[in-house]
Structure 1
Amino acid sequence: MRAVVLDEFGPAGNLRFADFPDPRPEPGWATVRLRASALNWHDVLVRQGRYHSPLPHVLGADGAGVRVDTGEEVVIVPSLWWGEDDSAPGASWEILGDHRPGTYAELVRVPVECVVPKPAGLSWPQAAALPLVGLTTYRALFTRGRLRAGESALVLGAGGGVATMAVSLAVGIGASVAVTSSSVGKIESARGLGAGGGVLYTEPDWPQAARELSPGGRGFDLVLDSVGTWQESIRALRPGGRLVVLGASRAQEARIDVRHFYFGQFDLLGTTMGGPRDFAGLLELLTSRRVAPPVIDRVFPLDQADQAHQYLERGGGFGKIVLTQD
């Protein structure tokens, strides 16, 4: 098969379109002929060597296509062997594309429990863009964050795939949402998804400006932080609010005022990805509520994955970047 192959960790230019061995059939596994694959920031970290993937390697966690043995149109759940404990993944858990070949290819092999029917009404790029950010965001907002209709949420970083999905899912269940961004244009785009407004995190006192967008100005019930700015995020919460952390794109260490934290009765919740029951909950929400499909920012052909990575790293887009195959 043809695939995007990484021979050496490093910059996007190290990705090359080349031949790669076909996945071999095996009981308990399904082979999918991919129609589209979506990029995630996680792929950049894999490419840089953060997860010590074997080389040569094929990146990619997200994909949608046709199951070879049945002809069924499917999406791939990239969370492998989560385990039976919903509170946290088990010892065998891994993300597709970390240590076994991923979705930047014509074919991919995954455990049979990791293929589910493609949701009706989604295009191939939308279907490919759904699994990782949909699963991650559903778990962050609802399984961990306990967000309910009538509550309020602040989503940090309006342009990324998780952020756009978070706005859509939260609005879909009847929560009010605000966002942060470095771009007025991205805030306006988030309004188009249903956000009530947003603030520029480049402003020196953005947490207070964000609080003013919350109901009654008392702070948000939940802040979704994928960037690692805990101290500022806590300032945007109401007393008793929940800070849900699922990333560290701007800071890998955080300092907080411990007394302020416990007197504020805040919850600090860490989360990443999710398991099969989280994904089932996501699909049920998509069918029972009016939720916007994944936002697609730009589509590249599979053989231009290096250019797609460069575009992702520039950070100017709004929504997901997808690789497609004719």
Structure 2
Amino acid sequence: MKALIIADNNQLKFIDKEIPKPKENEVLVKINAVALNHRDQFIREGKYPGIRHGTILGSDACGTVIETGAQVDKVWKDKEVLINPNVDWGENPKVQSPKYHILGTPTDGLFCEYVTIDAEKIAEKPAHLSSEAGAALPLGGMTAYRALFHHGKCQKRENVLISGVGGGVAQFALQFAMAKGANVYVTSSDETKRTKSIELGAKDAFNYKDSDWVKKAKEVSGGFDLVIDSAAGDGINDLIKLMKPAGRIVFYGATQGKPHNLDVHRMFWNQITLQGSTMANDDEFKAMITYVKKNRIEPIIDSIRPFDEIIDAFEKMKDGKQFGKLVARF
């Protein structure tokens, strides 16, 4: 089978491997489509912890079960499934274990033609989704779901701000919050992404590089009950200024690093919560898929290409011009 690995010097390389055999508690899945996440490009750039050269990359995939292990219910045979990329979340649903990681580094991932996976880690693809849309869902969807609902406690009619809407998690947060009935606003420095977000249903979109964007956002929205952020950095203080009393800021990344200062005076006086979040536990993965199915949410896809051309998708992600998931199909 063909697979894409991270080779020496962090180069992307296609290799051929034998098709694996499922253990008694596993299924063999023929992969139909895969999708990139920013972590795949970060691994390529050597900016991700625990990189192990020779590892098959990829955390997102949709495929068909073609063989079941001896202890697996045969009902899974021929079903099209999504794969939960969690490894060793642990027993505490509130926080991941020290052993926790995601498929694709250091454990072999899903950018390959066939994969064996524990039967507990698969879920049937929602019928309204294509294979390509299904592949786009798992990691970004589960990360957004936990941030928005577990930590963010998103409610109908609340004002919600999603920062950096060009990213996959942010776009799922936008879609999930709209499905909940929230008033959703976004930020992006890219005019095209702001326009597309409004077309999707966002109330308004702000350019965070404009000097007066905080003032404008406050005037337009009246303030926010919830912010979902992935940047952190000094921009976190702009978000604090935008919060309603008892507002919640949930951040699932820190691409802008640590803030030099934090407006703790405004935070304590207005009783604002600043909450970290990462990925999601196994139950939340299943709950996210149920939510997508119930609300018939369609992942936003930027482009689809043959798996043989997946390295081109890495180049597009590096440029940061995509809006939606970058998908490759077999």
Cα contact 2:22–2:117 (8 A) shared by 1: no
| Offset at residue 188 of structure 1 (A) | 1.4
Give SS of 2:211's match. Answer: coil
Whole-angstrom distance in 2 between the partners of 1:56 and 1:233: 41
Residue 252 of structure 2: aligned partner: 246
Whole-angstrom distance in 1 between the partners of 2:278 and 2:9: 24
Whole-angstrom distance in 2 between the partners of 1:192 and 1:282: 24
Asked whether 1:312 is paired with 2:317, we answer yes
Residue identity over aligned pairs, in percent, reads 35
Asked whether 1:205 is paired with 2:203, we answer no
Whole-angstrom distance in 1 between the partners of 2:188 and 2:266: 26
1:224 aligned to which of 216, 222, 228: 228
Cα contact 1:223–1:244 (8 A) shared by 2: yes
Give runs of aligned pairs for residues 28-43 of structure 1, distance below 5 A: 28-43=25-40
Pair 1:205–1:20, CA change in 2 (3 A): farther
| Offset at residue 116 of structure 1 (A) | 0.6
Whole-angstrom distance in 2 between the partners of 1:9 and 1:105: 21
Whole-angstrom distance in 2 between the partners of 1:234 and 1:8: 43
Whole-angstrom distance in 1 between the partners of 2:16 and 2:215: 53
Letter in 2 for 1:280: K
2:157 aligned to which of 141, 145, 150: 150
Letter in 1 for 2:104: G
Residues 259-308 of structure 1, C-alpha deviations (whole Å, 9 max, x = no match): 1221121001110110122122212322333x531000011221222211
Give runs of aligned pairs for residues 67-106 of structure 1, distance below 5 A: 67-69=65-67, 70-106=77-113
Letter in 2 for 1:222: L
Give SS of 2:220's match. Answer: coil
Give SS of 1:68's match. Answer: strand
Residue 262 of structure 2: aligned partner: 256
Residues 230-250 of structure 1, C-alpha deviations (whole Å, 9 max, x = no match): 11221221121000000122x
1:169 aligned to which of 168, 176, 189: 176
Q: Aligned-residue CA RMSD in angstroms? A: 1.5
Give SS of 1:178's match. Answer: strand
Cα contact 2:240–2:263 (8 A) shared by 1: no
Residue 7 of structure 2: aligned partner: 7
| Offset at residue 92 of structure 1 (A) | 3.1
Cα contact 2:161–2:185 (8 A) shared by 1: yes
| Offset at residue 48 of structure 1 (A) | 2.9
Q: How many residue pairs were aligned?
A: 317
Runs of 4+ in 1 over 4 A off after TM superposition: none
Give SS of 2:184's match. Answer: strand
Give runs of aligned pairs for residues 12-27 of structure 1, distance below 5 A: 14-27=11-24
With normalisation by structure 1, the TM-score equals: 0.93
| Offset at residue 157 of structure 1 (A) | 1.1
Whole-angstrom distance in 1 between the partners of 2:303 and 2:14: 19
| Offset at residue 314 of structure 1 (A) | 0.6
Give SS of 1:231's match. Answer: helix
| Offset at residue 197 of structure 1 (A) | 0.9
2:120 aligned to which of 87, 94, 113: 113
1:322 aligned to which of 318, 321, 327: 327
Cα contact 1:80–1:114 (8 A) shared by 2: no
Give SS of 2:111's match. Answer: coil
Asked whether 1:192 is paired with 2:199, we answer yes
